[in-house]
Amino acid sequence: MPTLAELFSLFGQSAPPVEVVGITHDSRLVQPGFVFVAIPGVPLPSRQPFDGHDYIPQAIEKGAVAVVGMRELNLGVPYLRVSDARAALADLSAAFWGYPAQKLKLLGVTGSKGKTTVAVLLHHLLQSAAPPVGRLSTVGVRIGDEELFLPGHFTTPEAPQVQEMLQRFVSAGCRQAVLEVSSHALALERVRGLLYEVGIFTNLYEDHLDLHGSMENYFAEKKKLLERSRFAIVNSDNPWTQTLAKRPQTWTYGAQGDWRLQHLVESSGGLGFEVISPIGSFPVRLPMVGRFNAENALAALAAASRMGLSVDQLQAGLACFPGVPGRMQLLQSEPFRVVVDFAHTGASLEAALQTLRPTTRNRLVVVIGAAGNQDPTRRTGIGQVAGRLADFAVFTEEDHRTEPLEAILQIMARAHGDPRRYALVPDRREAIRYAVWLAQPGDTLLFSGKGHERTLERGTEILPWNEIEEVRLALEERKTKAEI
């Protein structure tokens, strides 16, 4: 572990050679021996930011050995004044963890849509060919086959966590790591100092304008990923990303791209298509739901090929892809299809049901709830969409928190409108079993809303939850009982 003297010397400041045991920007996480970096929060229309400088006394009380900040201050512990505290947080974190990125080939994925799928798929391809490979993404951290969930719901966490994870990848023997990089991460210096072997930019759509102010600023932040990449892979179909196609050291993917596809066939078991690429043409099978995933697969294939994977390795890796945790994740396709998804609004449920309908041979059944202490119009939206697009709906709990569950279920039921085609099963575990026992050959069961989340908020309790595990258990139970 570096000393305070070593860390402060990066900024040309002397300090005593005391041992530093951690770096954080959050006073609540300070432990004895930590350096606390005080950051002024980002003002957003929706929230009043905090200012880390207000929490310096708390950090010192908890044992911080030094403080970094942006104001002129006189403290009882060594203090480093910097002009950009977020940049300093990233630089200090990288130094504290021994610059782990230098020992890894990084592959960064950014874009408004599809980046989680591309990152998870790319990690799977690389991991199948040359394990272990690290992954940092919205759906959790992967160190080879080991899964880790960080606190908070970040796509890309703050710099201390990013650097710590990179160090864990290195310690576990990884030589490559896939990072899902959000525009927040690029704008707020969470990934400062990282250089990528390959950078993928999937597309740009209107989003996060509260932080970025304009599409031009949003694009400029995302583009930074490619500026820090030796090789770029960009979508040729999106109006924003296609402007980057002419860069040197770039492959495009999409309808007119260097990587494109033809003869796409979608069945209940997934997708099949032919890839046309600079490394040749070859057929692939991908056990994923949704035609749009063929395009995500092209991006991942291009990046994996750039890292040296052969056509055989690409085909084999794609064919055994277990899916993105909790995102249209296909758990089985026969005798009835089972899909777990995160859709928890009327609009996202509509998209999920429309995606599943064409490949559903029999009934389309959805199990879904609506959260409490949140926008109540969601309940109506979900109920209406389920009534219109599913053959049968099981309405159940979904983080109702302190609101009465029965009232939420009644609103969804009323919005649905046809009591012959829905059931109310308040306990989510029971609702899952109910649907599994209801299923007939050719049906599709969609378990929607929880996806990869690991908690279920019931009243004031926060229970551990794993939707995929629960659904698998129910399937197992039905299979065992059917065999008896």
| Binding site feature residues | 27, 155-156, 182, 190
CB of 382 to ligand UAG, least distance (A): 21
Task: Give per-residue burial for 183-214: e unless 16+ CB within 10 Å, then b.
Answer: bbbbbbbbbbbbebbbbbbbbbeeeeeebbee
CB of 223 to ligand UAG, least distance (A): 15
- Asked if residue 231 lies in contact with residue 198, where contact means CB atoms within 8 angstroms, the answer is yes
The two tokens of residue 319 are 């064919």
- Residue 182 as a binder of ligand UAG (CB under 6 A): the answer is yes
CB of 120 to ligand UAG, least distance (A): 14
- Residue 27 as a binder of ligand UAG (CB under 6 A): the answer is yes
Q: Which helix (H) or strand (E) holds 366?
A: strand 364-368
CB of 36 to ligand UAG, least distance (A): 8
Strand 140-143 versus strand 133-137 pairing type: antiparallel
| Cβ neighbours of 262 (radius 10 Å) | 9
- Asked if residue 454 lies in contact with residue 423, where contact means CB atoms within 8 angstroms, the answer is no
- Cα separation, 196 vs 178, in Å, equals 9
- Residue 467 as a binder of ligand UAG (CB under 6 A): the answer is no
Please pick, from the candidates 16, 17, 32, 49, the single residue that binds ligand UAG as defined by CB under 6 A. 49
- Residue 16 as a binder of ligand UAG (CB under 6 A): the answer is no
**Positions 396 through 425 that interact with ligand UAG (CB under 6 A):** none
- Residue 57 as a binder of ligand UAG (CB under 6 A): the answer is no
Among 41-49, 241-249, 393-401, 406-414, the segment contacting ligand UAG (CB under 6 A): 41-49
Q: Which helix (H) or strand (E) holds 481?
A: helix 467-483
What residue number has its CB nearest to ligand UAG? 41
CB of 110 to ligand UAG, least distance (A): 8
- Asked if residue 365 lies in contact with residue 392, where contact means CB atoms within 8 angstroms, the answer is yes
- Asked if residue 405 lies in contact with residue 426, where contact means CB atoms within 8 angstroms, the answer is yes
Binding mask 205-234 for ligand UAG (x = CB under 6 A): ------x-----------------------
Q: Which helix (H) or strand (E) holds 285?
A: strand 280-286
Q: Which is nearer to ligand UAG, 47 or 479 (CB)?
A: 47
- Cα separation, 142 vs 147, in Å, equals 5
Among 166-174, 179-187, 263-271, 300-308, the segment contacting ligand UAG (CB under 6 A): 179-187
- Cα separation, 61 vs 64, in Å, equals 7
Q: How many residues bind ligand UAG (CB under 6 A)?
A: 21
Angle between the N-to-C axes of helices 115-129 and 292-306, in degrees from 0 to 180, rounded to the nearest 10: 40
- Residue 39 as a binder of ligand UAG (CB under 6 A): the answer is yes
Among 63-71, 180-188, 302-310, 453-461, the segment contacting ligand UAG (CB under 6 A): 180-188
CB of 56 to ligand UAG, least distance (A): 9
Q: Which is nearer to ligand UAG, 153 or 420 (CB)?
A: 153
Q: Which helix (H) or strand (E) holds 405?
A: helix 405-416
- Residue 42 as a binder of ligand UAG (CB under 6 A): the answer is yes
- Asked if residue 18 lies in contact with residue 65, where contact means CB atoms within 8 angstroms, the answer is yes
**Which one, of 430, 352, 343, lies nearest residue 378 by Cα?**
343
Q: Which is nearer to ligand UAG, 52 or 270 (CB)?
A: 52
CB of 148 to ligand UAG, least distance (A): 16
Please pick, from the candidates 12, 28, 76, 216, the single residue that binds ligand UAG as defined by CB under 6 A. 28
Q: Which is nearer to ligand UAG, 211 or 316 (CB)?
A: 211
The two tokens of residue 424 are 């109310």
- Cα separation, 220 vs 243, in Å, equals 12
**Positions 126 through 165 that interact with ligand UAG (CB under 6 A):** 154-156, 158
CA end-to-end span of the chain = 59
In the complex, the residues that contact ligand UAG under the rule CB under 6 A are: 25-28, 39, 41-42, 44, 49-50, 52, 55, 154-156, 158, 182, 184-185, 188, 211
